[in-house]
Amino acid sequence: MSIYDSALMYADLPFEMLRTFNKRTFKLQEHLDRLYNSIKILQIPIQYSDDILYKAHEELLTWHIENFPEEEEWRTLINVSRGILPIYQNLLEDEGNPNVIIACFPLRYVLKDTSWVYSEGIRLAVPSQRALPESLLDPKIKSRSRQHYKIADLQVKGYDNELWALLLDPDGFIAEGTGSNFFIVKNEKLYTPEGRNCLRGITRQYVMEWLSWDCTEKNLTFYDAITADEAFMTCTPYCIIPVKSIDGHGLTCVGEMTRFLMDKWINHVKCDFVRQSIRWDMKDGQLRLVSNE
C-alpha cells in the first residue's frame, strides 16, 4: 500500500477480518454490513456494491482452498482505503480512487502455539491506557486508527508477556480487549458491556443472540468482573477464550457456561475449533501442557 494513501496518512482504513469453519466463511454478510456502515460514516466513495465484494471474497477463498492443503482453515481480510490523498495525486499520477484489498491466508499462522488458551484460560490485566469513547473516535467504526490498542498491549506485556489487556472506558466501565469483546457469567446469567465504547463484534452478536438465550448488555464494572463466576473473551479467530484471572483475582476457569457455549458453537458450525487448534500446535511440536494449578 502506498505511503501516500489516506489509509496510511490518517489511519483512514475501514476493514474486516473473517475466518472459515470447514473452509466456509462465517458471517460474511454481517461483516460486509458492518463494513458498509463504516464506509458510510467515513464517506468513502467506494465503487463497488457489497454484492461484488461478497463474490470477490468467495472467489479468492475458493482459489486458496483449491490450491492449498485440505486441512487448512482460512483467515481473510478486507481493507478499504479512500485512496491516494488529493495533494499527492498529481505527484503519483493517480486519480485517487478508493482501494479495496482482499487477502487470504491460513488461519493456522494467527493461532500458532496458543491452543492452551482454550483449556487454561488467559490472564487479563487492566492497563492505565483507557479505551477511546465513541464521542471522540467511535470504536464501532472498525478502522485502523487504534494506536491506543498497541499502547495498552505494550503496557501489560511490559509486565508479563502472556497478559492480555482489558480496557476500561474513561467512565471506568469495562469496554473491551484490544480486538476482542468481554463477557461475564453471574448466577447463570450472561452479561456483556453495552455496545457503546467497544467494537460491536460479529462474534459478540453471535454469542448474544444465537448461542445464549439470556444475555444482557449492561454497564459492567471492575467490581462486577472480579465478583463474577466466570468470564470469557470473544473474537473472530479464537471464537471464545476462557478467562483465568483479572488483575490477579482468580475466576472459575473453564467455567460451565463458557464450556457450554463453546460446545454449542462447535456443534452449530460442525467444526471443533479447539481440537483443530491443538492439532496445529502438535504438528509444530509446541503443545503446552497445562498444570491444574
- Report the residue number, 127 or 177, with the smaller CB distance to a copy of itself: 127
The answer to the question of residue 260 lying near a copy of itself (CB under 8 A) is no
Listed ranges 21-29, 59-67, 109-117, 253-261: which one lies at the site for a copy of itself (CB under 8 A): 109-117
The answer to the question of residue 112 lying near a copy of itself (CB under 8 A) is yes
Q: How far is the CB of 125 from a copy of itself (least distance, A)?
A: 8
- Give me the DSSP letters along the chain: --TTBHHHHH----EEEEEEETTEESSHHHHHHHHHHHHHHTT---SS-HHHHHHHHHHHHHHHHHHS-TT--EEEEEEEE--B-HHHHHHHT-----EEEEEEEEHHHHHTT-TTHHHH-EEEE--SPPPPPTTTS-TTS--S--HHHHHHHHHHHHH-TTEEEEEEPTTS-EEEESS-EEEEEETTEEEE--TTSS---HHHHHIIIII-S-EEE----HHHHHT-SEEEEEETTTEEEEEEEETTEE--TT-HHHHHHHHHHHHHHT--HHHHHHHHHHHTT-PPP----
Restricted to residues 66-85, the positions that interact with a copy of itself (CB under 8 A) are 77, 79, 82
Distances (CA, A) of 124 to 98, 164, 233: 38, 5, 10
Q: Tell me the backbone φ, ψ of residue 75, rounded to 5 degrees.
A: -115, 130
- Report the residue number, 13 or 266, with the smaller CB distance to a copy of itself: 13
Q: How far is the CB of 217 from a copy of itself (least distance, A)?
A: 10
Site map (CB under 8 A) of a copy of itself, residues 127-146, x = contact: xx-x-xxxxxxx-xx-xxxx
Q: How far is the CB of 113 from a copy of itself (least distance, A)?
A: 10
One residue of 42, 56, 60, 278 binding a copy of itself per CB under 8 A:
42
Q: How far apart are alpha carbons 191 and 277 in whole angstroms?
A: 27
The answer to the question of residue 177 lying near a copy of itself (CB under 8 A) is no
Restricted to residues 219-258, the positions that interact with a copy of itself (CB under 8 A) are 219, 221-223, 226-227, 247-249
The answer to the question of residue 213 lying near a copy of itself (CB under 8 A) is no
One residue of 48, 63, 159, 260 binding a copy of itself per CB under 8 A:
159
One residue of 103, 162, 188, 210 binding a copy of itself per CB under 8 A:
103
One residue of 158, 260, 263, 290 binding a copy of itself per CB under 8 A:
158
Restricted to residues 262-281, the positions that interact with a copy of itself (CB under 8 A) are none
Grid cell listed for 169:
472506558
- Report the residue number, 33 or 263, with the smaller CB distance to a copy of itself: 33
The answer to the question of residue 151 lying near a copy of itself (CB under 8 A) is yes
Listed ranges 52-60, 119-127, 183-191, 269-277: which one lies at the site for a copy of itself (CB under 8 A): 119-127
